Structure 1
Amino acid sequence: MTTSAGGPGSWSENVLEYFLRNNQITTEDGAEIVWYHAANHKAQMYEALRSCAHMIEADVLLPGDESEHGQPIMAHPPEISSDNTLQEWLAEVMKSNKGIKLDFKSLAAVEPSMMLLEKVKRYLKCPVWINADILPGPNGSSKVVDAKPFIDTVTSFFPDVTFSLGWTTGWHPEKVNEGYSWTMVKEMEYICSGLSQPVTFPVRAALVRQSCSQLLWLLTKSNRYSLTIWTGKTDNYPTEDLLYIREHFNKNQVFYDILEPQNQEFKQAIGIKVNF
C-alpha cells in the first residue's frame, strides 16, 4: 500500500506511514496499531482519548434516520440516542493525535456528517477512515448502505479520504458459517477498482480463515487495499485463526480491531507488547 497524493497529514496517508512518521509504532506492521472500538458516548470517548489507542472507531447516525434534518449523533443501532453529537465528538478528538474511523449504518447521516467534518478538516491532520457496509456478505441480514451515493457523497467532500468498505455479516454458533465467496469479493473489487483513494475491507475474524483464497486475491488487485479484521461480541473463534491470517497475508496489509481475550493472546503470540 502506498501513500496517495496529498503528503503528510493528508487523510489518504497510509495509517502505518503516519504513525511510523510520528514515532508511535516501530515497523510497518498492521498488528502494531491499537484500536478503541465504539467510542460513542462521552465516557467511552474520553476513555479512548486517554488510552494508548492509535485509532478510535465510532458510529454515526441521524436520529429518526430517515429525515435529512437533525444533528448526527454517536450511537450504534439498536441504540438510537446518545449523550454525544458528532460535532461534540469531533471537537474533542481533534485535540488529540489519534486517527479516526467513522462508521455509517445509513445514508441519511452521511452528508450532514461530511459537512461537520469539512469544518474541522484543517485541524484534523490524522488519518481519517469513513466506513459503511455496502454489500451483503456471509449470513448478512442488515440493510446495506447504497454504495454509489455513499461513495459519491463522501468523495464530493473529501476525494482523498480512506474508505473502509465492507459486507453485512452474521455469525451463528450452532452451524457451519460460510466465508466470503468469490462473488462477494469480485463485486467489491468491481466497485473499488474505479476509486483512486486507499480502501480497507473490514472482515469478520470468525469468517476469514475459510475465505483466505478470496481475500488474498482481493488484496492482489491493488496496492491501495488492506484488510481490517474485526470481531463480533459473541463470536467464537480460535486465536490460531488470527495467526493463520498473520502467516498468509502481508503484515502491512492487515489491521486487527479485535476484542479481548483474543487481542491479548494474539499480540503475545506474535511478540507485540500489549499496553492498557
Structure 2
Amino acid sequence: MYTLLELYFIFCVKVLGTMSTEDKTVNNKSSWPVVDAVEFFPGVNEDLSLVSWAHAVNSVAKLKDALEDDKIMMLEADVSAGQLEGDEDGGKDDIIPIMAHPPHTRSDLSLAAWIKGIIEANKDGKKKGAKLDFKDLSIVKESLEMLYNQVDSINFPLWLNADILKGPVEAKDEPIDQEQFLTLCMQYFPQATLSVGWKTRFTSADDEKAEYTKGMAEEMAAVLEAANVTQPVTFPIRATFVSRSLEALEWLVDTVPDSTITIWSPVSEPFDPQAIIALQDSVGMDCVYLDLPEAERKAVDDARARETSSGAKGYRFIPPAATAMVASAGLALASALAALYLYE
C-alpha cells in the first residue's frame, strides 16, 4: 500500500514528467508581460508616427548598424527557412530560421543571433523593439520555440507578422495559412502584437481596384474573431492603396479591439501623402505607425508641415454616405432657390 506522499511522487514522475514541451509552454507563458510601444518609447507620447524603423535588417552588418543607431526604435526583419552562408555542404537537417527575404535561402544571420543581438542591446541600455516578418509557415513553430526559450529576456515590444489573406490588386502570391499562424502565435506569445495583413500586388497608381475593400476588412475581422484573438493587433497597410481605402480602414480599427495600422511602402512606389494624413486625422495619431523609406516618410512629413503652416486641410475624407447626404442637401437647396426665383 502506498502512502499519500508516495502516490504524489509517482504522479509527479509519471504524469507531470511526461508533459510535452508545448503543454508546459501553454501553462507557463501567461507570465510574459505585454510590452506596449508607447510605454516602452516614452518620447512617442501617443503619436505612433514618432516610432522610427530600420527595415529589412537581414544581415549582420545591418543589424549592427540598427543597434548602434540611437534614432532607430523598431527593427523589422524577414524570417525564412534556409542555411547560413558558409554551410555549403549542409543538407535538410541544416535548414534553420534565417534572416532573409524570398527568394533568398542563405544569410549570414540566423534568427537566434538576431534576437540575441536585440536582447543584448536592451541589456546595455538601448531601447530596441523587434518585428519578425514570417515568409514561410514551415519555420514558424521552430522560430517561436526558439524565441520562447529566451522569453525571460524579451522585455521589449515583439511583433509577429505574416500576410494571412489575399488583398489588392488581385494578388497572386499565396498567403500563410491563417489558422496555423494565429494558433502558433497565440500559443507561444499571447501578449505579443500580431501584425497580420494581406498579400498585395501593385499595378498602377490609377488602378480603380487598388484598394483594401470593405469586404477585405470584414474578412480580416472575421478571421481574428474566429481565432479568438485577444492580444494587440496591427494591420500592415501598403501606402499606395490608402487613398481608396480610408472608409474600410477606419471601419477595421473601429471594429477590432486594441488594433492599429502600420503604413509601409517599397522605395519609389507612388502614393498620396495627403491620404496618409487624412487617415491619421480620421483614426488618430495614436493609431497609425509609419514604417516608410526615408524619401516616402519625408513626403508625409512635408505634407503635414504644409498643412500645419497653412491651417488648411489638404485632403479631407468624406465617406460615401456623407457624400450622398451632401449631394442631396445641395440638390434640395438648388430646387428651393429655383422655386423661389420662379415664384418671384
TM-score, structure 2 as length reference = 0.71
Unaligned runs of 5+ in 1: 1-5, 272-276
- Pick from 196, 207, 228 the counterpart of residue 165 of structure 1: 196
The correspondence of residues 77-226 of structure 1 with structure 2, limited to 5 A, is: 77-96=102-121, 97-139=127-169, 140-173=171-204, 176=207, 177-193=209-225, 194-226=228-260
CA–CA distance in structure 1, aligned partners of residues 282 and 93 of structure 2: 44
Distance 1:234 1:266 in 2: 13
The answer for unaligned runs of 5 or more in structure 2 is: 1-29, 84-91, 122-126, 306-344
Partner of 1:257: 291
Selected match of 1:60 from 79, 84, 92 = 79
Letter of the structure 2 residue corresponding to residue 93 of structure 1: I
For the structure 1 residues 68 and 148, does the alpha-carbon distance in structure 2 shift closer, same or farther, using more than 3 Å as the test?
farther
Contact 1:68–1:108 (8 Å) recurs in 2: no
Helix, strand or coil at the partner of 1:262: helix
Structure 2 SS opposite 1:94: helix
AA aligned opposite 1:204: R
1:31–1:267 contact (8 Å) kept in structure 2: no
Partner in structure 1 of residue 327 of structure 2: none
- Is the contact between residue 243 and residue 272 of structure 2 (CA under 8 Å) also seen in structure 1? no
Identity of aligned residues (%): 31
Q: 1:13 is aligned with what amino acid?
A: V
- 1:102/1:129 contact within 8 Å kept: yes
CA shift digits 1:215-263 (9 cap, x unpaired)? 1001111341110000023411232232222222211111000112121
Output the amino acid matched with 1:62: A
Residue identity opposite 1:180 in structure 2: Y
The secondary structure found in structure 2 opposite 1:63 is strand
| Counterpart for residue 237 of structure 1 | 271
Taking the aligned partners of 1:242 and 1:154, their CA distance within structure 2 comes to: 29
Contact 2:35 2:155 in 1 (8 A): no
The answer on whether the counterparts of 2:168 and 2:201 sit within 8 Å (CA) in structure 1 is yes
Which protein has greater RCO, CA pairs closer than 8 Å, 6+ apart? 1
Q: Which amino acid aligns with 1:156?
A: Q
Question: For 2:45, which of 4, 18, 27 is the aligned residue?
Answer: 27
User: Once the two structures are superposed, what CA deviation does each residue of 1:13-50 show, in whole Å capped at 9, x if it has no partner?
Assistant: 33112212xxxx14111111001100011111111111
Q: TM-score, normalised by structure 1?
A: 0.87
Q: Does 1:48 align with 2:78?
A: no
Alignment-derived partner of residue 3 in structure 1:
none
For 2:120 and 2:167, the matched residues in 1 are separated by: 36
Distance in 2 (alpha carbons) for counterparts of 1:148 and 1:203: 21
Following superposition, the deviation at residue 209 of structure 1 comes to 1.4
Contact 1:17 1:28 (C-alpha < 8 Å) held by counterparts: no
Post-superposition shift, 1:175?
Answer: 5.0
How far did residue 266 of structure 1 move?
A: 2.2
Letter of the 1:198 partner, please give it.
P
Which structure carries more helix by proportion?
A: 2
* Cα distance in 1 for residues equivalent to 2:194 and 2:82: 24
